[in-house]
Amino acid sequence: MIKAEAKRLGFDLAGVAKAEFMDAEARRLESWLNLGYHGAMGYMENHFDLRTDPTRLAPGAKSVISLACNYFPESGPSDPEAPKIARYAYGKDYHIVLREKLRSLIGFIRTHIGEVDGRGFTDSGPVLERDWAKRSGLGWTGKNTLTLNPKMGSYFFLAELITDLELEPDAPLRDHCGTCRRCIDACPTGAISPNGYVMDGSKCISYLTIELKDAIPETFRGEMRNWVFGCDICQEVCPWNRFSKPHQESAFQPHPNLLSMTRRDWEEITEDVFREVFRHSAVKRAKFSGLKRNLRFLKPPPEDLPETS
């Protein structure tokens, strides 16, 4: 009943895992942090016990309901030379959209089952979302470290409802990456480990263009592949994304002017245009100053510019 309502609300996948301490995931997270792969994302070091134990995050928790919502767009930018933003940021900020769906789902559960305690999350708290998605049977963790589903690929948002409702867990899916290494070979900054499954976040283009607030290190100049907010390269080359289908969520439709912006439009973007086009988008996280920094970084440094006579 809960899964059926989740799908009615616009979630494409729903699965259940037992709420318990995540031993293997805790050890992997600790190793990742010790390697410094979180870069300047100091918040990843906070609340370690909450990240790895949902019963601490929501006392009395018995189940974690994992949910997925497709965001794959129907079309892309008209100018192939225009700077690019990750597809997830085309429409309205997913935090807002999915939070509303979660509230509706919690309300439904309380109406039809009774007084149930639950906390909803969507990239909004110390929750290991992809690990819970894996445990809940939504997909496996691919070599690019994203959750892959055999019918949907990876272009979907994740959300969780941690609840004291005892539900039967779903079985995890097995890994279907096989010998494929397209994502590893395609990553221009070498952020994915040689054997996959580990991401050096401090080298990821998404990190460099969104999370990093300082200057982008010069070692990455010429490696950004025209991305100014996020990056989809490891998803674009993934064979499983041949199954991606356009989403049906009106809130994820891009601003009418976004996909028609030319390279020149981007280079000459003003703060007023930024506010209009991205007023509801996650791109606001970068702020106008951050977007301009990223746009400047796409250009060669002054000493590399051709001489003029």
List all residues 6 or more positions away from 217 whose beta carbon is below 8 Å from its beta carbon.
none
pLDDT (0 to 100) of residue 300: 78
Closest by alpha carbon to 63, among 172, 162, 158? 162
Look up tokens 């049977």; give the residue: 137
Exposed, middle or buried: residue 45 (CB in 10 Å: 0-12, 13-18, 19+)? Answer: exposed
4-28 per-position pLDDT tens digit: 999 999 999 999 999 999 999 999 9
pLDDT of residue 301: 67
pLDDT values of the chain reduced to their tens digit, one per residue, 309 residues: 999 999 999 999 999 999 999 999 999 999 999 999 999 999 999 999 999 999 999 999 999 999 999 999 999 999 999 999 999 999 999 999 999 999 999 999 999 999 999 899 999 889 999 999 999 999 999 999 999 999 999 999 999 999 999 999 999 999 999 999 999 999 999 999 999 999 999 999 999 999 999 999 999 999 999 999 999 999 999 999 999 999 999 999 999 999 999 999 999 999 999 999 999 999 999 999 999 999 999 987 665 555 544
Both tokens of residue 219?
Answer: 């070692």
Could you read off the pLDDT of 84-107 as tens digits, one per residue? 999 999 999 999 999 999 999 999
Query: How far is Cα 91 from Cα 98, in angstroms, rounded to an integer?
Result: 13
Sign of the CA dihedral 233, 22, 211, 302? negative
Give residue 138's identity as a one-letter amino acid code. L
Show me where the domains of the chain are located.
Answer: 2-74+93-163, 182-304
Cα dihedral: 35, 41, 47, 49 (round 10): -30
pTM above 0.85, yes or no: yes
Closest of 13, 285, 299 to residue 133, by C-alpha = 13
- Residue 123 bears catalytic tag: yes
What confidence score (pLDDT) does residue 189 get?
Answer: 98
Concatenated DSSP letters of 92-134:
S-HHHHHHHHHHHHHHHHHHHT-S--EEEESSSSS--HHHHHH
Catalytic residue, candidates 79, 123, 164, 170: 123
Phi-psi region of 179 (alpha: psi -120 to 50; beta: other; left: phi over 0): alpha
Q: What are the CA-CA distances from residue 91 to residues 12, 23, 72, 101, 134 (Å)?
A: 18, 36, 11, 16, 26
Task: Using alpha carbons only, give the angle 250, 246, 242 rounded to the nearest 5 degrees.
Answer: 160
Q: Which pLDDT belongs to residue 157? A: 98
Q: From CA 7, how far away is CA 117, in angstroms rounded? A: 21
Query: Which pLDDT value is given to residue 299?
Result: 86
- Distance CA(212)–CA(203), nearest Å, equals 10
pLDDT value for 302: 60
Query: Secondary structure of 170-215 in the HEC alphabet?
Result: CCCCCCCCCCCCHHHHHCCCCCECCCCCCECHHHCHHHHHHHCCCC
pLDDT attached to residue 309: 42
